[in-house]
């Protein structure tokens, strides 16, 4: 029998989590769209340089400038602004299509990834609608077809999620870091991944949220034999698969 593989469905985007921590990003424009872009960048720990005349700053962007959360240049864009080799990406949010296209072409010449707001053909990447809960990020993209629809879908997804899922993910992250200290070798990688997957399947969201550092230490004791005790077993100090005698029947296993 021939093997069955997924059919290719073109027309999509490669959705990735772009790590831009401590990397320089140039934002051109200071209106409402720029405000959303800047917040996304700051949440990702990017180093943001903003170019816009002061009279073009909306209240949120002006707040970022006043708090020195961005490096601010009070003027219109100049081609020499792209000469900095440390620029990782450029975002434009200005009400001048012709000027935006010029910036786009300059970015292409210098091989700098760029996003021209509201002009999908002049974008190397898109900003989707994002739901954020601590370490959890969920992005919905319509590939430039309908930003409002992306927002509607994102809200529906967010409404279906448990309210404490962000806390559960933080606890899982802490457990993974402890596990890497316990079993640091590369050869342990497959076992670590398998064991962590089994924990996430065996423990409820409520269990993961309630997990404390001492619970993690007790749970990690079962990594060697590759077992998964229940949350109650961890709290009671019991071992997986062992019946604890309480004296009520006069016998034990």
pLDDT tens, position by position, 158-198:
999 888 899 999 999 999 999 999 999 999 999 999 999 99
Those residues whose C-beta lies under 8 Å from the C-beta of residue 49, and which sit 6 or more positions away, are 24, 25, 26, 27, 70, 71, 72, 73
pLDDT tens sequence across 196-226: 999 999 999 889 999 999 999 999 999 999 9
Q: How many CA atoms lie within 13 A of 15 on its CB side?
A: 13
| Model pTM above 0.85 | no
Residues 172 and 78 in one domain: no
Token code pair at residue 157: 């997804």
In contact, 206 and 176? CB cutoff 8 Å = no
Same domain membership, residue 205 and residue 149:
no
Q: CA–CA separation, 199 vs 229, rounded Å?
A: 9
205, 178: one domain: yes
185 lies in the same domain as 144: no
Which residue in the list 81, 96, 118, 246 is annotated as catalytic? 118
Q: Note whether residue 1 is domain-resident.
A: no
Q: What residue numbers bound the domain in which 154 lies?
A: 128-161
For 54-141, strand residue ranges (E) read 71-73, 87-92, 113-116, 129-133, 136-140
The contacts of residue 13 (CB under 8 Å, 6+ apart) are 125, 126, 141, 143
Q: Are residues 52 and 91 in the same domain?
A: yes
96 catalytic residue (yes or no): no
CATH number of the domain enclosing 122: 3.40.50.720
For residue 2, is it within any domain? Answer: no
Q: What pLDDT is recorded for position 146?
A: 86
Q: What is the pLDDT of residue 143?
A: 84
pLDDT value for 241: 63
Instruction: Mark whether 29 and 118 lie in a shared domain.
Output: yes
Nearest-angstrom CA–CA distance, 110 and 72: 22
Length of the chain: 253
């Amino acid at each position: 029998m021939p093997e069955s593989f997924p059919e290719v469905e073109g027309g999509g985007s490669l959705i990735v989590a772009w790590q831009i921590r401590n990397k320089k990003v140039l934002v051109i424009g200071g209106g409402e769209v720029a405000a959303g872009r800047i917040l996304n960048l700051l949440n990702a720990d990017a180093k943001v340089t903003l170019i816009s005349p002061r009279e073009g700053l909306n209240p949120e962007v002006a707040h970022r400038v006043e708090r020195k959360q961005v490096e601010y240049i009070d003027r219109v864009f100049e081609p020499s602004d792209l000469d900095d080799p440390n620029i990782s990406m450029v975002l434009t949010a200005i009400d001048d299509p012709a000027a935006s296209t010029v910036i786009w072409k300059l970015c292409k010449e210098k091989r700098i990834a760029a996003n021209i707001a509201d002009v999908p053909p002049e974008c190397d990447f898109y900003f989707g609608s994002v739901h954020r809960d601590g370490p959890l990020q969920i992005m919905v993209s319509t590939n430039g077809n309908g930003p409002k629809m992306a927002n509607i879908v994102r809200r529906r997804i967010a409404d279906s999620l448990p309210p404490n899922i962000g806390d559960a993910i933080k606890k899982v992250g802490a457990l993974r870091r402890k596990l890497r200290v316990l079993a640091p070798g590369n050869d342990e990688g497959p076992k670590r991944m398998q064991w962590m997957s089994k924990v996430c399947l065996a423990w409820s969201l409520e269990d993961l949220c309630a997990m404390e550092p001492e619970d993690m230490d007790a749970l990690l004791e079962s990594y060697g034999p590759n077992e998964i005790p229940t949350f109650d077993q961890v709290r009671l100090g019991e071992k997986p698969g062992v019946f604890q005698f309480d004296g009520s029947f006069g016998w034990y296993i």
